[in-house]
Amino acid sequence: MDPFNFAGNPPEAFTRRAFIGRGLVLASAAATVPQFISRSALGMTAPLGLSSIPGVPEDHVLVVVQLAGGNDGLNTVVPFGESAYYKARPTIGIPAARVLKLGKNQQVGLHPQLDGLKELYDQGMLSVMLGVGYPNPNRSHFKSMDIWHTADTSGTGTGWLGRYFDNDCCGTPLDAAAKPNPLGGIAIGREAPLAMKGGKYQPIGFESAELFQWLGKGVDKDLATPYDEITRRGVAADTDPNTTAGFLMRTALDAQVSSDQIRKAVSQRSLVNYPGNELARQLAMVSSMIRAGLPTRVYYVTLGGFDTHAGQGGENGRHAQLMQQFGGSLAAFYKDLKAHGNDTRVLTMSFSEFGRRVGQNASGGTDHGTAAPMFLAGPMVRGGVFGNQPSLTDLDSGDLKFNTDFRSVYAGVLKDWMSADADKVLEGSFRAVKLIEKA
């Protein structure tokens, strides 16, 4: 039997170990990439014959939505039952009557423009985790973002998702020769986020798929063939694989194969209409990549503009528009996933680097604050509101006191959805919050 012929062997392709070691080729390249590439790619990764762990889900996907700039948690999940809220926010508070209610006894509800999230909530597809933060909150965008990305309160070190890949996704370190699949994590944006950068693992990042390719072909189409020859050869026979030249040749091969697959994947038309905003554009691409069967475990998307120091508005206005974009995009994303039968495979988690202060400022906006809610979405989540809403009166110099450490939410996602060793990935022990039940 030809060991390089995988055509009749798809289940093997999705075992986690195979995915990490050689899944790039097995899982999806085999179908689209000529044989000689499969050979050269295989030559550089792990040996064959690794088996899967019984009972471990192999095809789970995590999508992280970063709301950049510090989303105003109190106007996202509104504590409409408290007079202190309206007192602190005389012009930007959301009228109780307009808040989207989450159940009879719930004293918090969603911003009126979050109808998209309400839809998911009503289908039991949304977990609202209240009062998430960390000790000694930092109010610098960059520092606090780094803290969320590294899952370390000093904000230094590698990214938590990067460590997930470094640790072979389940707590066993990679073999020295093994190399994480470059397609394991894909970030859409100009820069790959720190969260996905590991010691060994480097994610793929691109802003739009058209940029994720060589432009020389557009100058002279006859260059396509020699270019492919250059990049697809892998490590040339006359090159020592330990040299930097060998490293570059491997990376060039990875880049070429990833580029082909990604551009092919996102060229498909979505099955539903997405709203016209940046987050929707990114989620539509993610949905297409999932649909195309890329072996990617983590996708990372970003919506910016949440730094609403002035004129943030209440029920309408700037923040309301962001809420509409966020909720509407997420609702469309799950409709699309459902249409191609992948919704049950995809968990989405949103976060922001911090919430905002309880009281509004003189410019009709809010300044940098602390704790805020997180959302988890997908058919596998426990629908409902969890955690405790921080008190609006017992404050830490004008700021909310957090109730749940964000790393407890990460721990739950790692443990219950990604089947990973959370302690190892988070480099510490955190009580995992149970937000996923239908894994």
Partner 1 sequence: MTIHQPEPPAPEMTGPSLPNNRSMDRHEGRKPISSSLAPIKADRWGYDQARHLLWRAGFGGSPEQVRTVASWGPQKAVEYIVDYDDVRAEKIEADAFNKDIMRPASEAERAEAARARRAGDEDAVARLRAMRQEAERVDRGQMRDMQKWWLKRMIETPRPLEEKMTLFWHGHFATSYRTIEDSYHMFAQNRLFRRNAVGNFGKLLYEIIRDPAMIAYLDNNDSRKGRPNENLARELMELFSLGVGNYSEQDIKEGARALTGYSFYDDEFTFQKNNHDTGEKKILGRNGTLDGDDFVSAILRKPACARHIAGKLYRLFVADVPTGRPEIDKPAESVIRQLASTLVANRYEVRPVLRKLFLSDHFYEQPILREQVKSPAEVVVGAVRSLLTPTRDLGVLTDAMNLMGQNIFYPPSVKGWDGGRTWINTATLFIRQNILCFLLTGKTPKGFDALARTETYDAAAFISGLEPSGETGGRAADSPFARSNPTDQELSVVVEQMLRFTLGASSPGNHEILMRHFRAAGNRVDQESVVSALLLVTAMPEYQLC
Question: Does 230 help bind partner 1 (rule: CB under 8 A)?
Answer: yes
Question: Of 7, 55, 238, 269, which lies in the binding site for partner 1, with binding defined by CB under 8 A?
Answer: 238
Phi/psi of residue 110, nearest 5 degrees: -90, 150
Question: Does 261 help bind partner 1 (rule: CB under 8 A)?
Answer: no
Q: Which residue lies nearer to partner 1 by CB, 158 or 419? A: 158
Phi-psi region of 112 (alpha: psi -120 to 50; beta: other; left: phi over 0): alpha
CA gap 176, 60 in Å, rounded: 26
The piece of 19-27, 52-60, 128-136, 198-206 that touches partner 1 (CB under 8 A) is: 198-206
Closest CA to 296 of 44, 17, 47, 27: 27
Q: Any idea which residue has 């780094």 for tokens?
A: 146
Q: Looking at residues 48 to 107 of the shown chain, list those that interact with partner 1 (rule: CB under 8 A).
A: none
Question: Of 50, 84, 96, 252, which lies in the binding site for partner 1, with binding defined by CB under 8 A?
Answer: 252
Question: Of 48, 53, 177, 310, which lies in the binding site for partner 1, with binding defined by CB under 8 A?
Answer: 310
Question: Of 10, 57, 226, 428, which lies in the binding site for partner 1, with binding defined by CB under 8 A?
Answer: 226
Question: Does 214 help bind partner 1 (rule: CB under 8 A)?
Answer: yes
- Which residues 6+ apart lie within 8 Å of 57 measured at CB? 419, 439
Question: Of 68, 223, 271, 439, which lies in the binding site for partner 1, with binding defined by CB under 8 A?
Answer: 223
Number of chain positions touching partner 1 (CB under 8 A):
50
Q: In the bound complex, what is the minimum distance in angstroms from residue 141's beta carbon to partner 1?
A: 9
Phi/psi of residue 212, nearest 5 degrees: -90, 55
Closest CA to 297 of 6, 38, 47, 19: 19
Q: How far apart are the first and last CA of the chain?
A: 36
Q: Which residue lies nearer to partner 1 by CB, 254 or 336? A: 254
Q: Which residue lies nearer to partner 1 by CB, 107 or 213? A: 213
User: What one-character-per-residue DSSP string does 373-404 give?
Assistant: EEEEESTTB--EEES-PPPSSS-BTTBPPPSE
Q: Any idea which residue has 């597809």 for tokens?
A: 125
CA gap 92, 67 in Å, rounded: 20
Judge whether 390 and 399 are in contact, CB under 8 Å: no
In which element (H, E) is residue 318 found? helix 318-339
Question: Of 85, 148, 206, 406, which lies in the binding site for partner 1, with binding defined by CB under 8 A?
Answer: 206
Question: Of 153, 239, 268, 342, which lies in the binding site for partner 1, with binding defined by CB under 8 A?
Answer: 239
The piece of 60-68, 199-207, 296-304, 381-389 that touches partner 1 (CB under 8 A) is: 199-207
Question: Of 69, 109, 198, 205, which lies in the binding site for partner 1, with binding defined by CB under 8 A?
Answer: 205
Per CB under 8 A, residues contacting partner 1 are: 140, 142, 156, 182, 190-192, 202-206, 210-216, 218-220, 222-223, 226-227, 229-231, 233, 236-239, 242-245, 247-249, 251-252, 254-255, 258-259, 310, 362-363
